[in-house]
Structure 1
Amino acid sequence: MTDTITQEETLGEIVIAPQVVETIVAIAAAKVDGVYSLRNKRFADRIGKKADGRGVYVRQEDDKVAVDIYVYLTYGVSVPSVAMAMQSAVKDSVKDMSDIAIDEVNIHVAGVVPEKTPKPDFKELFDEDFLDVD
């Protein structure tokens, strides 16, 4: 993946860092009903000081942008319904906020969390390090 995702316009160039797109995707996905939390896929994400993506991975190949999201779902939800809602929410949020069209949103269900497990607070899912895109 390149270091930036670029959209050209007549007045100049707008450059949006992939971390910004990852943040938009993660917040949109976490707000969907039935999503318990996001899950880190890479070992380095779990031990690293700064875990960019926190379960969201954006890649750009040629002119296409693809997103992989790793999630835990709440027990009892319809997995296809939640996955489709996530795909729609992510595509709409990224398009509205950055004018970047996402070509693929791949949902990877890492697990299902039992009913009695308290859902983490939204702020716990996104600590200051995640929202800081140095």
Structure 2
Amino acid sequence: MNGLTTEKDISKTTISPEVLHKITRLTTLSVQGVCRLAPAAGGLKQIFNREDNQGAKVLIKDDKVYVDVYVVLISDMNVRDISREIQERVSRAITEIVGLSVGAVNIHIMDIDFNA
């Protein structure tokens, strides 16, 4: 598991990237205007393991979290406002729940659902 490990005295806490992925997915889906998550671009891994990269990619580098979120939005909503809301909520959730700094939250709008 390639996660972030913090040590204090003799204790150690390891945070799995899957935890950050789940926080990102659930937080994104709670934003009004998000129809659903879209598969992250990923070639063969996407074909054989859809659950692993559904909706988000998370990278931990230099004690910071970098997130790419892939979404399908509902039509008749302001795309820029929804994107900013996702960025703010995901960044806040990761910081508050896990206590890590967020380097970036990038939003990739993969489609707009006009039937939702």
TM over 0.5: yes
- Give the 5 Å matches for 1:109-124: 109-114=109-114, 116-117=115-116
Contact 1:72–1:111 (CA<8 Å) still a contact in 2?
yes
Cα drift, residue 61 of structure 1: 2.3
Question: Which residue number corresponds to residue 8 of structure 1?
Answer: 7
Distance in 1 (alpha carbons) for counterparts of 2:44 and 2:26: 21
Distance in 1 (alpha carbons) for counterparts of 2:68 and 2:44: 17
Number of residues paired by the alignment? 115
Question: Which residue number corresponds to residue 93 of structure 1?
Answer: 93
CA deviation vs aligned residue, 1:5-60 (integer Å, no higher than 9, x gap): 22333462211100010000110011100001111122445433562241110112
Partner of 2:102: helix, strand, or coil?
Answer: coil
Question: Sequence identity of aligned pairs in percent?
Answer: 26
The one-letter code matched in structure 1 to 2:6 is: Q
TM-score by length of 2: 0.87
Q: Which runs of 5+ in 1 are unaligned?
A: 118-134
Partner of 2:52: helix, strand, or coil?
Answer: coil
Q: Select the structure that is richer in strand.
A: 2
TM-score by length of 1: 0.76
Give me the CA root mean square deviation: 1.8
Moved more, 72-81 or 8-17: 8-17
Partner of 1:83: helix, strand, or coil?
Answer: helix
In structure 2, relative to structure 1, the CA distance for the partners of 1:45 and 1:54 (3 Å cut) is: farther
Question: Which residue number corresponds to residue 21 of structure 1?
Answer: 20
